[in-house]
C-alpha cells in the first residue's frame, strides 16, 4: 500500500521553476555536471510517463523561463501528468567582458560545466562545443545522457516518444544536434526534433539560397524591404556567389568545414545522411523579421537570408528540394521572436507533445 501511494506521489508533476524541480546530470566517466529543471524525477520509476520534451534555452541561458514556457504548453495541451519536461542550463562563465549575448558570468555551482557563450564561434554550447578546460565533454554529450536516461525501461516503461526542441540559440543547438548526435538510432525510443527561429543553420554543402528561394513571399524580409527588380535566378540554391569575400561561409557551425567539438567525431557523409533521415520540424514565427534577440549579422549568416523567417523557410526548402528530406516547415501566425508565443501556440502543441 505504501509503495502504491509513493508511486502516486511521484506521478504528480513538479511545476515550478524552483530548486525543488531541479537535479544534476553527469555524463558517464566525467566529473562535470549540468543543472536541469524537470517536471518528474529522472531516476524514479514512473509508469504514467508516455512522452518527453527536452527544451533548450536561448542565448540568455534562462532554463527556468523555458521550463515555465514548456509547463504552460503542457498545461494547454492537457498532458502535464503523462509528460516529462526537461530544460537544461548550459551555463557560461567564460569571462568575456561586454559580450552582446549577456555578461557570460553565470554563477557556477561546484563541478558545474561551463561553456563559451560568444556568438559566431564554433566552440560554443550552441554548436556542441566542449566545456571550458575539457575537450572531451561537450554540450551535446549531456543531451545524449538525458535521452539515454529517458530510454531506460526500468524507469519509464511506457515512454513512447522523445522530442528535442529549442528556440533561437536553442534552435541553433537543436539543428546541429539533430544532424550529429549518435544516440538517435540506439536509444530504442523514437526521437523527433523541433528547430524554432534560429539565427542560422548548418548547411551540408556549398549551396545557398538565391532570390528565387523567397520569390512570392515578401513577408520573409524586414519591414521596408523593396524586392529587387533584377532577373530572378531560375534555381533557388546555387554555390555561394560571394565565397571569395565571405571565406568562412561554409565553416562550422554554418557549414561542415573545420568542425569542432561533438560534430568533429562524425564524418561529413554521416552528417549529411543524418540531417536528411531524421524527423525535423522547422518552426518559424510569422513576424520574426526584425533583428532582435542577438540576431546574427555575420556574413556566413547573412548568406542564408536577411531575416530569421527567411533563413528558416529557405533551409526547409533546401533540405527538401536539394536532399529529398521529409522535413516539415510550420509558420506560427502572429509570433515574432518569442519562445512563449511560439511554444504555446495551438499549431505547436501537437508537435512537441505528439
DSSP of 113-182 = ---B--TT-TTBGGGTPEETTEEEEEHHHHHHHHHHHHT-TTT-TT--EEEEEEETHHHHHHHHHHHH-S
Collapse the DSSP code of 310 into the 3-class scheme (helix H, G, I; strand E, B; otherwise coil) and give the result: helix
**Which cell goes with 156?**
519509464
Which pLDDT score is estimated for 3?
A: 47
Could you read off the pLDDT tens digit of each residue along the chain, which spans 354 residues? 444 444 444 579 999 999 999 999 998 888 999 999 999 999 999 999 999 999 999 999 999 999 999 999 999 999 999 999 999 999 998 755 444 444 588 999 999 999 998 877 889 999 999 999 999 999 999 999 999 999 999 999 999 999 999 999 999 999 999 999 999 999 999 999 999 999 999 999 999 999 888 766 655 665 655 545 455 557 899 999 999 999 999 999 999 999 999 999 999 999 999 999 999 999 999 999 999 888 999 999 999 999 999 999 999 999 999 999 999 999 999 999 999 999 999 999 999 999
Which pLDDT score is estimated for 28?
A: 86
**Which cell goes with 172?**
541553433
Number of domains in the chain: 1
**Residue 138 backbone phi and psi in degrees, to 5:** -115, 170
Which pLDDT score is estimated for 118?
A: 82
Which pLDDT score is estimated for 2?
A: 45
Q: What is the Cα–Cα distance from 108 to 105, expressed in whole angstroms?
A: 9
Q: What is the DSSP string of 183-223?
A: STTTSSS-EEEEEES-S----SSSEEE-GGGSTT-GGGSPT
Q: What is the Cα–Cα distance from 273 to 248, expressed in whole angstroms?
A: 23
- Structural domain including 225 reads 2-352
Four-point Cα dihedral 269, 275, 278, 284, nearest 10: 180
Q: Which residues of 173-209 are buried (b: 16+ CB within 10 A; e: fewer)?
A: bbbbbbbbbebbeebebebbbbbbbbbbbbbbeebbb
Q: What angle do CA 34, 51, 323 make, to 5 degrees?
A: 85
Which pLDDT score is estimated for 219?
A: 58
Which pLDDT score is estimated for 231?
A: 55
* Domain containing residue 326: CATH number: 3.40.50.1820
Amino acid at each position: 500500500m505504501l509503495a502504491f501511494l509513493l508511486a502516486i506521489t511521484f506521478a504528480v508533476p513538479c511545476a515550478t521553476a524552483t530548486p525543488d524541480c531541479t537535479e544534476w546530470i553527469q555524463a558517464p566517466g566525467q566529473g562535470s555536471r549540468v543543472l536541469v529543471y524537470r517536471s518528474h524525477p529522472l531516476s524514479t520509476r514512473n509508469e504514467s510517463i508516455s512522452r518527453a520534451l527536452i527544451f533548450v534555452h536561448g542565448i540568455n541561458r534562462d532554463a527556468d523561463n523555458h521550463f515555465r514556457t514548456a509547463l504552460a504548453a503542457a498545461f494547454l495541451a492537457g498532458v502535464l501528468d503523462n509528460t516529462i519536461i526537461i530544460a537544461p542550463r548550459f551555463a557560461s562563465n567564460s569571462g568575456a567582458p561586454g559580450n552582446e549575448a549577456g555578461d557570460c558570468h553565470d554563477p557556477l555551482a561546484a563541478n558545474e560545466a561551463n561553456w563559451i557563450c560568444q556568438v559566431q564561434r564554433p566552440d560554443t554550447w550552441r554548436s556542441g562545443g566542449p566545456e571550458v578546460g575539457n575537450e572531451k565533454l561537450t554540450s551535446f554529450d549531456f543531451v545524449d545522457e538525458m535521452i539515454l536516461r529517458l530510454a531506460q525501461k526500468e524507469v519509464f516503461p511506457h515512454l513512447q516518444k522523445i522530442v528535442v526542441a529549442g528556440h533561437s540559440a536553442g534552435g541553433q543547438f537543436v539543428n546541429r544536434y539533430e544532424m550529429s548526435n549518435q544516440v538517435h538510432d540506439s536509444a530504442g525510443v523514437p526521437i523527433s526534433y523541433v528547430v524554432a527561429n534560429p539565427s542560422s543553420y548548418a548547411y551540408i554543402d556549398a549551396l545557398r539560397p538565391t532570390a528565387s528561394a523567397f520569390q512570392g513571399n515578401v513577408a520573409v524580409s524586414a519591414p521596408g524591404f523593396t524586392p529587387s527588380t533584377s532577373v530572378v535566378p531560375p534555381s533557388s540554391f546555387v554555390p555561394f556567389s560571394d565565397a571569395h569575400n565571405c571565406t568562412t561561409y561554409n565553416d562550422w557551425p554554418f557549414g561542415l568545414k573545420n568542425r569542432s567539438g561533438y560534430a568533429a567525431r562524425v564524418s561529413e557523409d554521416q552528417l549529411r545522411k543524418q540531417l536528411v533521415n531524421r524527423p525535423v520540424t522547422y518552426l518559424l514565427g510569422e513576424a520574426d523579421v526584425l533583428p532582435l534577440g542577438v540576431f546574427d549579422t555575420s556574413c556566413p549568416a547573412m548568406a542564408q537570408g536577411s531575416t530569421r523567417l527567411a533563413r528558416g523557410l529557405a533551409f526547409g526548402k533546401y533540405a527538401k528540394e536539394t536532399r529529398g528530406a521529409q522535413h516539415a516547415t510550420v509558420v506560427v501566425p502572429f509570433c515574432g521572436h518569442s519562445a512563449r508565443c511560439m511554444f504555446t501556440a495551438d499549431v505547436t502543441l501537437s508537435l512537441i507533445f505528439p
